[in-house]
Chain A
Amino acid sequence: MINLIFLLIVPAIGMLLIMLRWFSNKLPSPEVISLSVMAVDAVLFGLGLLFGFGSFSANINPSISFSFSLQENFITIPFLLLATVLPLAILLFAVKEVKESKNVFYLFYLLVYVSVISVFVSSNLIIFFVFWEIAVLSLFFITGLWGDREKGKRAAMKFLVFTQFGSLTLLAVFILLFLYTGSFNFSVIASRMSLLPSYIEYISFFLLLITVMIKMPIFPLHGWLLDSYYYSPSSGTMFLSSMLSKLGGFAFILFGFGLFRNVLLNFRLPLIALGVFTAIYIAFTASGQTDFKKLLSYSSMFYMSLVFIGISSGVNLAVAGSVILMISHGFIITLLFGISYILMQRTGTNETANMGGLMSKMPALSFFLIFGIFASLGVPGLSNFPGELLIFIGSYAIAGISLFAIFGVMLSTNYYLRVIKQVLFGQIKKAFAGLKDLSKQETIAMCFLSFFILLIGLFPSLILNTIGGL
């Protein structure tokens, strides 16, 4: 039995060690500390899978039902896989990128890491919200301080103001739940949901919807997406796209599907239609991009809109598909953003039209780029396929309109293949003659990610079996 609190204590010790580096220079470097912390956490997670997770609870202020309690719920395990394993790969990219104020960067890095884990395991809604906000704040600083020198701060501010509005509406939902059920504890609330008058359920659901639509993001609340993805340091972008957007999906499943299911079922047609519209709209937007990083940002939003369709259909099958798609998309988008970062470092440009013929100089990178793109397109055997399949099967039973989103998948095939053509094939430019292929460290990170993409693609039942109660 592994108590969930250990997953939080280990990073906390790591943060303490990094802070102690201000006073003594004998401690290992912050990268080493972070890497070992995350490795220990991943091992703890693996042990937990074998022996089961124990819950933890400590009362802080009973009068507002505020207790530090951690417990797994019906979709925790797959998200915990994402949160404990993926940052290891992100770290390998961050090591090369971050050169200044390393201590503070890794402090924020571990803070994001621990808060994402805590959001997934917390069963008290105040703790949930506290860590939800800490994740947002730390990413605000990562984007603002290590991002683009000129536009990073403005992007960070836009990100903060948008997501802060989403957080406030989420807080309103929590307070409404507390008002009618008298508790912030998730399981207590779930058992007392009948106490809520139906209009409160509707109000809460729409407030929650705003949160989710900002966080995932879904049209028309996606205004912050491009700036913050584009001007963050690439490790920040990876965190944003692979973890933070998943928090939105997680909250939607946990509260929208778990608590307000009646409202969700009443509104599923307009919600699915919104998701389909977002998918097609964003696929068109992505088709027009010539910048690889922008294209990836929009495509990331495309997959989140598929997730939105899956969850809002309210069918168990489609929700399970959404969980798989979120996990697999986390791994794939990290791989693709990693490649875009490497290309940017080596060639000095993000424009796909300015590259070309890189296949001859960088065979390993080309392999992983094609692998990632195929995985992203939903080639069977790779991880997106089971997710997309389950989403379409499940939501088709509810609304035939969801199949229109397949049109978006076709469009993304189009722009992804264009990327492959422009970047990898054709005549190589003279300026690129001296390009080097992936270094050892980068290859390790890529292989690590590819392993999980293959694993989930070949054995989706590994994840499906851990989703209890669906």
Chain B
Amino acid sequence: MEYLNPQYVLFAGILLLILVDFLRHSMKINKKTFMHYITAAVLGLAIVFDALYGNMDIHLFSEVPYSQFAVGFMLFISFFIYLFIISDKNEHSVAIDISYLFAVLGSTLVVLSSNLLSLFLSIELLSISSYALVYMYKSGNALEGAVKYLSTGIISMVILIFGISLIYAGAGTLSFSSLHVVSYLPFIAGVAIVIAGLGFKSTLVPFHMWAPDTYESSKSSVTAFISSVSKAAGLIAMIRIFFFALPVSSSFVTALFLSIALITIFLSAFLASVQERIKRILAYSSISQAGFAFISIAVLTTRGINAAVFYIFAFAVADAIVFLAYDMFEDKNVIYKKESGEIAAISRIGAISFFIGILSLAGFPPTIGFFGKLLIFYALFSSGYFALVILVFFALLVSTFYYFSILSEMHVVDKIMKNKNRSPIKKEQRVKEAILIVLTLSLFVGVIFA
């Protein structure tokens, strides 16, 4: 029973895949679908074990109050994104299974790390497999996106390890349980540099510049993974460090955090409203979601952390939905905002899920995006930031504007009604729509976790 944790399952799955692939090559069998089924089964099993037995709890990785929930929703989202990816008619190499499992394993380990070194290694594991995933679909300018992602990623990793070394110089330890705040200049510089390093991963302004390009140039279903699960991992790592390990509660740090969050929210809102391509709007919206989660982390209270974890869950699901739905539209060359009227003709259910996902991102009830914002405002109010909330309202208005400028172009209504006799829907589209339905339902049911 001791080893029935999702992390072990994932690792065993990876080893099994490599073994089966070796056997397959030596026996000259050309059946890749079998490998995909194994991967899906491994992910599904990991979800079950997370729900039943919780996570791995050893020296370098330990559980915190929210980790079971966080790992659970990461696995849940990755499971459906994976099903979506393999339901495509393209031929997928086995490499995608292995790198995907490595990415998922890395992101769950980020949540659990209880040592700066293990945190660094987990993020590195997640990042390297993400670079591979972005480049795996050699369509369009995937190479450009992957190279941008790789170069900024490597720089951010170097920055992160530099900050970690400064912290080690000050505190003399890397373990979260024995870390403590010391008033030693390099140590403080180290903390600031760690913020920068993790800021790259979770796309906080001013470390966000790689995100729109990479999101746009990679395949949308991969973007769904990067913008939801991988970003959630970065944000949760921030919670772990700045709330549990280094309880930095000086007014300077709070002001720094709040200003980063506010700049992220405002800048992304304004940049999103001038974009013409749907995918870039979604990319900037995803950056602003990270800002909202971070503003809730910035108050550094238990309420704020709970709100942040729930909000990360909320936007991760919604981001996965919109990017997956957009994947179906992108195949039919819907790129610009003014073309979005055609999406209902491509897939009715896809359009409706896209619509609900955007409502959730914009924070409209009764979706969980609304409840996430409710909890964030609650946390901000209970720490006494009244004026801040009013400021955030203005950013929310701008975001309402650009989200609805996509929706009002959609003409969902007319198109849904007028496309009565179309060509029969293919089986793979049925599968994709089923996945979207499940994810969309979780946007409503998720409120029980608030």
8 A/B residue pairs, CB under 8 Å, sorted by A: A133-B364, A134-B365, A140-B404, A157-B405, A157-B408, A168-B397, A172-B389, A179-B378
Asked whether any CB of chain A lies closer than 8 Å to the CB of B414, the reply is: yes
Asked if A161 lies at the interface with its beta carbon under 8 angstroms from chain B, I say yes
Further 15 A-B residue pairs, CB within 8 A, beyond A157-B401, A165-B393: A60-B447, A64-B371, A101-B414, A103-B417, A105-B413, A133-B364, A140-B404, A153-B408, A157-B408, A160-B400, A164-B397, A165-B397, A171-B374, A175-B377, A203-B386
| Interchain nearest-CB distance for A18 vs B (Å) | 12
Closest chain-B Cβ to A28's Cβ sits at a distance in Å of 17
A283 to chain B, nearest CB (A): 31
- Considering only residues 354-373 of chain B, those with a C-beta below 8 Å from chain A are 359, 364-366, 370-371
A66 on the B face (CB < 8 A): yes
Answer whether residue A156 sits at the interface, using C-beta atoms and an 8 A cutoff: yes
Alpha-carbon gap, A134 to B365, bound state (A): 7
CA distance A161 to B398 in the complex (A): 8
- CB < 8 Å: which of A103, A144, A168, A175 contacts B381? A175
When distances are taken between beta carbons in the complex, the residues of chain A under 8 Å from B364 are 133, 137
User: Which residues of A135-168 have CB atoms within 8 Å of chain B's CB atoms?
Assistant: 137, 140-141, 144-145, 153, 156-157, 160-161, 164-165, 168
Instruction: Identify the closest chain B residue to A152 (Cβ).
Output: B408
Q: A103-B417, A157-B401, A168-B396 are in contact. Are A175 and B365 (CB under 8 A)?
A: no
User: Is A66 touching B447 in the complex (CB atoms < 8 A)?
Assistant: yes
Of residues 245 through 282 on chain A, the ones whose CB sits less than 8 Å from some CB of chain B are none
Residues 281-313 of B contacting A (Cβ, < 8 Å)? none
Per-residue contact bits, chain B 411-450, to A (CB 8 Å; 1 contact, 0 not):
1011011000000000000000000000000000001101
Of all chain B residues, the one with the shortest Cβ separation from A105 is B413
Quick one: CB contact mask for B227-260 with A, threshold 8 Å, 1 for yes? 0000000000000000000000000000000000
On whether the beta carbons of A104 and B365 are closer than 8 Å, the reply is no
A318 to B232, CA, bound (A): 54
Q: Are B450 and A66 in touch, CB under 8 angstroms?
A: yes
- Is B375 in contact with chain A by the CB < 8 A criterion? yes
Query: Mask for B374-402, Cβ within 8 A of A = 1, else 0?
Result: 11011001100010011001001100110
Residues B400 and A133 in contact, CB atoms below 8 Å apart: no
Q: What is the CA–CA distance of A48 and B404 in the complex, to the nearest angstrom?
A: 40
A439 within 8 A of B: no
Interchain CB contact (< 8 A) of B400 among A60, A103, A164 = A164
B binding-site residues for A, Cβ under 8 Å: 359, 364-366, 370-371, 374-375, 377-378, 381-382, 386, 389-390, 393, 396-397, 400-401, 404-405, 408, 411, 413-414, 416-417, 447-448, 450
Closest Cβ–Cβ distance, residue B411 to chain A (whole Å): 7
Q: With the chains together, A161 CA to B405 CA distance in Å? A: 11
Among B371, B382, B447, point to the contact of A179 (Cβ < 8 A): B382
The 3 A-B pairs of least Cβ separation, nearest first, read A130-B365, A104-B413, A168-B393
Interface flags for A160-194 (1: CB within 8 Å of B; 0: not) read 11001100110110011011000000000000000
Nearest-CB distance from A157 to chain B (Å)? Answer: 6
Determine if A64 and B450 form an interchain contact, defined as CB atoms under 8 angstroms apart.
yes
Q: Check if A64 sits within 8 Å of B396, measured CB to CB.
A: no
Q: Are A100 and B414 touching (Cβ within 8 A)?
A: yes
Count of interface residues, chain A, beta-carbon cutoff 8 Å: 36
Does A24 have its Cβ within 8 Å of any Cβ on chain B? no
Verify if A63 is at the interface (C-beta below 8 Å from B): yes
CA distance A153 to B359 in the complex (A): 18
User: How far is B393's CA from A175's CA once the two chains are assembled, in angstroms?
Assistant: 14
With an 8 A cutoff between CB atoms, is A129 at the interface? yes
Residue contact A61 to B448, C-beta cutoff 8 Å: yes
- Distance in angstroms between the alpha carbons of A206 and B374 in the assembled complex: 19
Bound complex: CA A178 to CA B378 (Å)? 8
Cα distance, A37 to B310, chains bound together (Å): 38
Residues from chain B with a CB closer than 8 A to the CB of A133 are 364-365, 370
CA distance A133 to B400 in the complex (A): 13
Assembly CA distance A318 to B371 (angstroms): 37
The residues in A between 103 and 128 inclusive whose CB is less than 8 angstroms from any CB of B are 103-105, 126
Query: A458 CB to closest chain B CB, in angstroms?
Result: 41
Using Cβ atoms and an 8 Å threshold, which residues of chain A touch B417? 100-101, 103-104
Report Cα–Cα, A66/B366, bound state, in Å: 12
Q: Which residue of A lies closest to B398 (CB)?
A: A161
- Asked whether B377 lies within 8 Å of A161 as measured between CB atoms, the reply is no
Contact check, A161 vs B450: say whether CB atoms are below 8 A apart: no
Closest-CB distance, A61 to chain B (whole angstroms): 5
Docked CA distance A130–B374 (Å): 12
Q: Report how far A100 CA is from B382 CA in the complex, Å.
A: 49
CB pair A144–B365 under 8 Å, yes or no, is: no
A66: chain B residues within 8 A (beta carbon): 371, 447, 450
For A134, the closest partner residue in chain B by CB is B365
A233 → chain B, closest Cβ, in Å?
13
Contacts of B404 in A (CB 8 A): 140, 157, 160
B229 to chain A, nearest CB (A): 25
Query: Complex: how many Å from CA A373 to CA B400?
Result: 39
For B375, the closest partner residue in chain A by CB is A64
CB-CB < 8 A to A144: which residues of B?
408
Q: Which residues of A contact B371 (CB under 8 A)?
A: 64, 66
Residues of B within 8 A of A137 (CB): 359, 364
Using Cβ atoms and an 8 Å threshold, which residues of chain B touch A105?
413
Q: Which residues of B have CB within 8 Å of A171? A: 374, 377
Contact A175–B378 (Cβ < 8 Å): yes
Contact B381 A130 (CB under 8 A): no
Query: What's the least CB distance linking A339 to chain B, in Å?
Result: 29
- By beta carbon, the residue of chain B nearest A103 is B417
Q: How far is the CA of A168 from the CA of B394 in the complex (A)?
A: 10
Bound Cα distance A176, B384 (Å): 10
Min CB distance A202 to B, Å, is 11
A161 touching B393 by the CB < 8 A rule? no
A140 to B405, CA, bound (A): 12
Give the chain A neighbours of B370 by CB distance below 8 A.
Answer: 130, 133
Which of A61, A101, A104, A168 sits near B447, CB closer than 8 Å? A61
In angstroms, Cα B43 to Cα A372, docked, is 67
CA of A316 to CA of B413, assembled, Å: 46
